[in-house]
Amino acid sequence: MATRFWRFYELMNRGIRTFTGPAQVGAGYVEGPDVRPTDPPCPLCTKLMSLHAITRSDDQHRATRMTCPQ
């Protein structure tokens, strides 16, 4: 079953690549290193992110919460 699926996938991929071509990797020019600020501002309150409290739950049923400083 898996080999039949793989042959079907390769057949479809070969047909689609004739129109789309291979995957485009990169930006098309030489990129410099990604330099990020060490302590960026919060997009909501514009205070430093190091002043915020991040609350992560033990399970995967509740979302991670970020609390802005007062």
pLDDT digits (tens, 9 = 90+) for 31-65: 888 898 899 999 999 999 999 999 998 888 888 99
**Which residues fall within 8 angstroms of residue 67, CB to CB, at 6 or more apart?**
52, 53, 54, 55
- Pull the structure tokens for residue 4: 């039949």
Whole-model pTM above 0.85? no
**Span 6-32, mean pLDDT?**
84
